[in-house]
Amino acid sequence: MDALDVLHKRVSASRLTGPEPEPEQLQAIYKAALRAADHALLRPWRFLVIRGQARERLGDLFADAALARKPELEPAKLEKTRSKALRAPVIVVAISSPKAHPKVPRLEQDLSTGAAVQNMLNAVYAQGLGAIWRTGDATEAPAVREGLGVKDKERIIGFLYLGHVDGPTRPAPDLAVEDYFHEW
Ligand SMILES: Cc1cc2nc3c(=O)[nH]c(=O)nc-3n(C[C@H](O)[C@H](O)[C@H](O)COP(=O)(O)O)c2cc1C
């Protein structure tokens, strides 16, 4: 697919299914993350790939976090929360891991990690696969952070759920450039 077509037409896919993308497809997605804009080339990111049965362990962390938030949570809701980790065959956790630098504040390093996630979304779409960037309470929950080994200074920027698209996706909205871009 033409690069500009990818950038103009990419959409998220909330319904995903297996099988896991091929190893070469995953490598292409990961390589795209590593081309994120990065002030002073600090590489202020790291990524956890969660697939197969590891997703069940992530689901347990989601459930632990939900119970910590609301100990009286109904069992059905708890199981629904746990099953969220099974919504895609592969989940990439994007973690901003800031480095001390006199000219590159924390915000820029978090933004670089966000750019890496967006690059992955585009690489997914370019290969005819599907993905969605999710966050939610789990990103801040101590049970999830500790379970994934996220250090105090680090931040989870997103969970990238990816796999094969299951069902139709919405077309990309056709926003008017002039509504957002103005000559100054
Ligand atoms: C930082 C960030 C966090 C997000 N978290 C969620 C989320 O937790 N759940 C969700 O359904 N969408 C979330 N989204 C939105 C989707 O990833 C997606 O961008 C949105 O549904 C619009 O779809 P599109 O990418 O096809 O335009 C998040 C987006 C960003 C940038």
Q: Which CATH superfamily is domain 14-51+85-167 in?
A: NADH Oxidase (3.40.109.10)
pLDDT digits (tens, 9 = 90+) for 77-134: 999 999 999 999 999 999 999 999 999 999 999 999 999 999 999 999 999 999 999 9
* 15 alpha carbon, distance to own chain's centre: 15
H/E element, 132:
strand 130-134
Q: Which atom of ligand 1 is nearest to the CA of 170?
A: 26
In tens, the pLDDT along 163-174 reads: 999 999 999 999
Q: What is the pLDDT of residue 56?
A: 98
Which atom of ligand 1 sits closest to the CA of residue 117?
31
* Count of other CB atoms within 10 angstroms of residue 19: 8
Map out the domains of the chain as residue ranges: 14-51+85-167
Residue 1 scores a pLDDT above 90: no
**Does the C-beta of 133 come closer than 6 Å to ligand 1?**
yes
pLDDT at 48 over 90: yes
pTM of the model: 0.98
Nearest CA to ligand 1 atom 16: 133
DSSP 172: P
pLDDT over 90 at 28, yes or no = yes
User: Over the chain, what is the mean pLDDT?
Assistant: 97
**Does the CB atom of residue 113 touch ligand 1 within 6 A?**
no
Quick check: 145 pLDDT over 90? Answer: yes
The residue among 92, 116, 97, 91 whose CA lies nearest residue 155 is 97
Percent of the chain with pLDDT over 70: 100
Which residue has the CA at smallest separation from atom 13 of ligand 1? 134
Q: What is the DSSP annotation of 40-57?
A: GG---EEEEEEETTHHHH
Q: What is the pLDDT of residue 135?
A: 98
Decide: 112 and 38 in contact? Cβ < 8 Å: yes
pLDDT given for residue 154 in this prediction = 98
Predicted local confidence at residue 94, as pLDDT: 98
**How would you classify the pairing of strands 90-96 and 45-51?**
antiparallel
Pick the residue whose CA is nearest to atom 4 on ligand 1.
Answer: 134
What atom of ligand 1 comes closest to residue 135's alpha carbon? 8
Q: Which atom of ligand 1 is nearest to the CA of 14?
A: 11
CA distance 156 to 172: 27
Residue 8 pLDDT = 97
Distance 102 CA to ligand 1 centre (A): 32
Would you say how long the chain is, in residues? 184
